[in-house]
Structure 1
């Protein structure tokens, strides 16, 4: 089915459509129409927050309601809807099943009729093309609470998309995401940020502006990138422009009844529509990159042109209108790197051929040299003897060089034998002497303190606003009565007010009632308390027959809105993150303070929060939260020599024959058990990787002058635990039969290593 069969024809009455932009946590809506080859934006809503499926429906309803209340009563709310979604919602040109169910639920609950979808970043790219009159080279950065969506556009075409989880540093996250696209070429020097939380986007922009991109090793720009923020309404404009291209030729967009902001855009005629929801259609493999064109057509926004879903030649899309298929980043990068590699290879071959060409030319010129006649003459016997002596000197010199000069390094790797033991140990931080018989040793306390600060975006929300006020006329049938300030005044639908001051109502009868004017204030904030004139009120607990009130003028001033605020979880999460960072820094500092002759007992390190101060309280209106934190730590250290002595005491009797145990082979680990004042009870785990006893002089004697393979065979047969040998000749090694190990044993250096 063609999308044009769903959307209105050019000769039919103008029809309004919805644009619904769904981002992580935020929804915004707008109504538009296609008129005189232009997309006319009628109204746009402010963004509404959501976090669950139920809240998504409520947020969509809130945004749509805000739009409907702002348009003329002559306009009937539309049903047909074009959706703008993140690329993470799309797979192979189709809305993923998990997100398709969300869209269907929204459409069912709000009586909407889905006619197509477009990826927000692609729609924005084409909208900027319209605004700026040229293809866009930019990095579009969708910012949400938990992730970033990075889309790179080159010459207006999508080069790839990457999803990156949020961490502490937005600069590190952007660097990580961009590095996944790296092909050796510089990235576009323009970063465009979008989401619906403008305060957060400004914070992100400031961090990216302050970043030192020039010194970054992972990403390269031609120059410092320009950082821009997409206005929230522009996302509705972009999605509406995508939908308008399906109705016919589009040459401009009118934003919110503002003709002066009109931008002209030339596009092709007879643009066909996309497809409605379908569970059976699939997307064929199509290239994502195309040559840039001057026109913006429906294909630019991800819609199908002049085709039908049942046609074999049409590019089918599942569930919603077509979106250009995005090639996997890894494949795209591999292709780019492959092209670059092939170019390098061709370039290298060209250089090699040039060199060989010159070589052949020289050799050819030498070959053409004419043969010169050579004459021999037998001389006296003295030159002959001199020649023989000279030859003997050369032979003797060569032999001496071969015998005395060569040297080599031989590293023998052996498989170690592991031995372990465990014992209980008491550390006394007040004693200076150790008692190894009773496993009680002296120790020291080492302390340090560190402070730091950290900020995170706030995640909470709260409703703020003003209370409505007004004046009522109180009527009394009965004796005179006085009412105190704060007395309850009950309005319709449970809307309550209170008196602003003490009043006295004169006595009256049914025919002539006592009358008094009084100011009242709403009990809570909100526009629902702005009651129209003529509303009837009951006073306190009196019946309407005894006393009642009415307002001659409408109440005003009541309002409410949702703002970002600090939540209890924000403070807890910030404390946990910063405390972990500072504790890790403290631990490294304590380990660094301990000299090489000391063991630091990790389990004994205790951390204490000395001071913490938040810049905002829970419930305060704020887009971010900052914490200043100070932590101190203390730990126990013992002398390495003492631990090695304990290791020798417990392990020496377990050393097998042919192996040796040395102090530097002993390893130790501690587990904290208990503490009593200055006494710390620990479990000590000691172990060692034993190496076999090797007589280095005997080994040298037996491998001197041997070929490497012969030497390796000897080591395999005579060295316990032998694994392999690495022989490195220093300087020059003679070839062939002359390539033996040095003939002088002092020219061979032997070392023994452990095979891990």
Structure 2
């Protein structure tokens, strides 16, 4: 080995792998690299398919899209699957889906190392980005299934899987009774579903939240983009399977040629690899300790790294030095010089003890589930500090107006007959002895059909001849009153006039009438326009309320009703009865909502009058109001029957918990806290730490700060 190789920096080794996200009719793929402690996504691809037979082709397309930025000579065979919840049964892949995974791996020459699931991966991602365990309702919408995952403090409490119908609102509504929880989170995250995500979100915004007591108020709805999904599953795959991948992945030095390094070992049985998936990585996420992905990778590499021979040699040398030092100290005669020599070590020991005792500090957040209780009450929400009548409590409200615009399209459902009217010529006979003038538009009748004269007609009177009476006659053009081929009458058809009897006048056509046609077309009906306006108005009101929530003060809340709307502009692309398969509406609304101050509401509750459950204390900061019935007067004041929802949090002896936890390692502290009733999760953050005590809580209880976080 040359001297230069020891002096120059080591070459970084890069490992590559594929993460393949499979869904019912949708494929996501990502190619990632691990260099040192860093994980980086090189490319992302996606593809759709309609039939199961086309799944492998779709997977190949998605991988090819993701591999566009990868060197052409590099062949990546190692893959980790990312699977939705309906693919799984407990900890294992369902047999019918396992067959498909094996087929994909075999046909595309991939070596499977296991799988991660979408829900757990996204929970880990949210914990990292939000610095706390999430409480959220996750919604995965595939082409055939809707999966709802209830997550509280980073723990999956329940999965609900329902078959999709034409309406996401109906599917969502039918799933709610299946939840075992009394109250669901106020945040919903929808996994990105191709280009329909925003459309599905808009449809979900029309859901009648106020009719379902399982929601305290309208939840915030977000879309988790495809890029975030792939980042989440790649990070989960890297941290879960890094040791196994690192041992067998093709290692590529950035300074070496690719040609000599792209050989991959023969794939093992895919079924064996998949059945081993995740068995060592699953577990309850009771404790949450702040740790970055790089730190996780570093920890894994440290745990799997073999012992270095240089370290052992160094340890032997240290033992020799210690032995010599003890030998010399034993020869010192402790007189005046001994005392002088002993002072520095003593000071170092005292300083070290002082640092260990006083310097480390840590904060521990105990995450708990609040216990809600409802109290009925009548309240007057009043504008401009108006006074209520009688003993009715008054809460001040102020109005906020937002102007919001949007457009929406829907299919037309009306039908209209289109076509031409029959036309022709008739001979009109006057059977009286006086001449007649018939005005334009005079109605002629032949059976059930009606016709009109195209122009004014003058008819001479009837006269006597040697052969008898000769009727006066005149020719005239007529048009059918309605479109359709029914009015194409044959020649010699008889006509009468609505104004005269048959004895006075009549008409007959010598030639057939022609030109009458009809066809049924899809057109816009009045109901189409009314329904579209109602739907778009509801969506815009939801969006306006979300904007209001973003603009009010932290201690203010919005009343679900009344919400008043004023149309600023409205434009349909088609009129009623016009031919159109699609109807579009552009609408601008002024939406007025009312907000109140949470502090005023809290004052209405007398803590002494509450029935506090044993082991709990009242938390005034979480008090909410649920409007059950309201009636606005002409002044804009709102008399309402409401349910005041008070929350109670566990009454914990925090001083005792501090004393019991001091000096414990993180794992010991988590094990201790997990046994405490009513604690649902823990977050530990160390502010001041010593390098050799980085995973221990301070020995001094005063240096531990404990707070209760109520979810």
TM-score (norm 1): 0.45
TM-score (norm 2): 0.47
1 or 2 for the larger relative contact order (CA 8 Å, sep ≥6)?
A: 2
